[in-house]
A and B are shown apart, each in its own frame.
Chain A
């Protein structure tokens, strides 16, 4: 995996006005990079802003503040239609709910080809059909499925259609927003294996948003943990699970039930109390050990470092 930055998110803020005087700070100043060819996992509880982050990156929302640099160019800010189209071709999204994200009145072939039509990729009817069939086969469906409607498919198959649609415009970056949470366990494994295979074949970069931590760990190279609109910890997947530093990450990890009854009988859950933090200053994102970042104050930083080194 290269260290080349595909995506650079700088101090991204997404605030929603909910009334005349109230503002929801869904994403409140987060910064991170996504490297070319990697899978970046974003985890956190519902309402922590992880989906909003994904949607702001692809400009489904206009960011309140901050930059999203994709290949060195800001996605936000003033853009012409053509400029936006260029980003849209490079970035695609796979949605959580395979039932709601496919238009029930469109045939699968048209759903998949919609992006190609918009970008004028395959103007020839025959080539368009061939491309759709190729995509269907890539995602493990067969070409007879092209003329059916979404309701004729199971959840796992629909998610495959969603993936085929995302792949149709040959993107380099895919945001997968909880792509498997609506699927059965055995089907989840099929879809995750497919996503991994596609990444290998096409050199894709993923932003994988999920709350199922064991699956995130399995698929991701690096993971960011979000809490109330802030990123509280960022590290390599293995490192994060072995040495979680931020108390929130620790509580999150300790809450995952594992398929191991003996472990479960002895598992102890930590609860996270945000009031335990040092409030003498605004916390900042600091590097506690190489490539392992934690949101903390100076005092906490010293403490985390000492603890981290003694554990090691």
Chain B
């Protein structure tokens, strides 16, 4: 498979009056063509900053990419000038933002907003762009495109607006699509439609998708691989099956345990105690240790490296060290894991 994106040891910091906030502290991942990588984690875990850094959309200053490389088709984006970035943004890499209510320009007709990129990047004439806009609106399932393109964002419902945002992102057939919580503000039925739409388009265009969300149901639906972020680092990364059926990091256990399932009877949800650390002064050792009931002495002293579980699956927890004691995941998680695995036969089909 062809590698589309390779992020190596990326650090992003923000200089504030209080000091340096280390929002992203050494992130490594790669993305192949036609693949979907989901990044999950709490707010403040650095997932949005990571993806914004990929597009260099971080306000600099106060933000800066302190260290690391972002190789997009072999080119290091961190070394490009703003002018060069502008040629890439919206053309090769585009982004779907979380809130369709605020990511559209309220004073511009939606048709013009979609056409903007086409005229700029693909040097289309106005009439060519118009034809393409209609095509795009139909692609994302907005009926009566000819008239709708002349309307303003406020004349669209939330789901329809998000479709417009998707249409803008897809306008130039990007090679990489970054979707930052694209469905969080939407209803389940609309969410399902948008997800199906994105998958459909991915099949046609072979684009790579980075999907940020905190809804694990959505992750299970769209992702090929999953990266779990905590306090500016990836703590576990693997295929979607690795993460859901064989999670290794206690934080991943916590995330999985805090979601109620529709079929299982759980008396109390497992809630991860406390809240994420302040990245102004990242704690010594493993950032998750204070909230981790399995934390050992070493967790408080030294940050765990990425341990290899399998070729596709890595996790940063000392529990995977050969000298670590054998620890059972919490009962609720274990039940989930066995319930999930027992439901799968050798071929990966549900029995």
A and B from one assembly? Answer: yes
Binding site for B on A (CB under 8 A): 45-47, 154-156, 184-190, 192-193, 196, 211, 213-215, 217-218, 241, 251-252, 255-264, 266-267, 269, 272
A189-B271, A257-B217, A261-B220 given; A217·B262 CB < 8 A = yes
On whether A45 and B187 interact (CB within 8 A), knowing A261-B240, A261-B244, A262-B344, the answer reads yes
Contacting residue for A185 out of B259, B261, B273, B343, CB 8 A: B259
A266 and B43 CA atoms in complex are apart in Å by 30
Interface pick from B250-258, B310-318, B321-329: B250-258
Check: B123 CB closer than 8 A to any chain A CB. no
Please tell me if the beta carbons of A185 and B191 are within 8 angstroms of each other in the complex: no
- A258 with B269, Cβ < 8 A, contacts A186-B258, A266-B349 known: no
Q: How many B residues touch A, CB cutoff 8 Å?
A: 48
Closest-CB distance, B209 to chain A (whole angstroms) = 16
Q: Can you list 24 A-B pairs, Cβ within 8 angstroms, ordered by A?
A: A45-B188, A154-B275, A156-B275, A184-B43, A185-B42, A187-B275, A189-B269, A214-B259, A214-B260, A218-B260, A218-B266, A252-B189, A256-B188, A257-B191, A257-B217, A257-B220, A258-B217, A259-B244, A259-B261, A260-B261, A261-B223, A262-B348, A262-B350, A263-B350
Contact A255 B271 (CB under 8 A): no
Known contacts A187-B275, A256-B262, A262 near B340 by CB under 8 Å: yes
A218 to B260, CA, bound (A): 6
Q: A186-B272, A257-B192, A262-B349 are in contact. Are A46 and B217 (CB under 8 A)?
A: no
A188 lies within 8 A of B258 (CB)? yes
Complexed CA–CA distance, A261 and B240 (Å): 7
Does any Cβ of A come within 8 Å of B148's Cβ? Answer: no
User: Nearest CB to that of A45 among chain B residues?
Assistant: B187
A155 proximity list for chain B (CB < 8 A): 43
A241 near B221: Cβ-Cβ < 8 Å: no
Partner of B271, one of A47, A193, A211: A193
* Given pairs A185-B216, A261-B241, A262-B350, 20 additional interface contacts (CB within 8 A): A47-B157, A154-B275, A186-B42, A189-B269, A190-B272, A211-B188, A213-B188, A214-B261, A218-B260, A218-B269, A256-B262, A257-B217, A258-B262, A259-B220, A259-B244, A259-B261, A262-B343, A264-B221, A267-B221, A272-B189
Q: Does B270 sit at the interface, judged by CB under 8 A?
A: yes
Contact yes or no, A255 B191, CB < 8 A:
yes
A255-B188, A258-B262 known; A264-B220 Cβ under 8 A: yes
Which chain B residues border A156 with CB–CB below 8 Å?
275
Query: Interface digits, B206-224 against A, CB 8 Å rule (1 contact, 0 not)?
Result: 0000000011111111010
Q: Are B192 and A186 in contact (CB under 8 A)?
A: no
Q: Taking each of B43, B188, B223, B255, which has the highest tally of chain A beta carbons within 10 Å of its own beta carbon?
A: B188
Nearest CB of B to A160, in Å: 12
Min CB gap B349→A, angstroms: 7
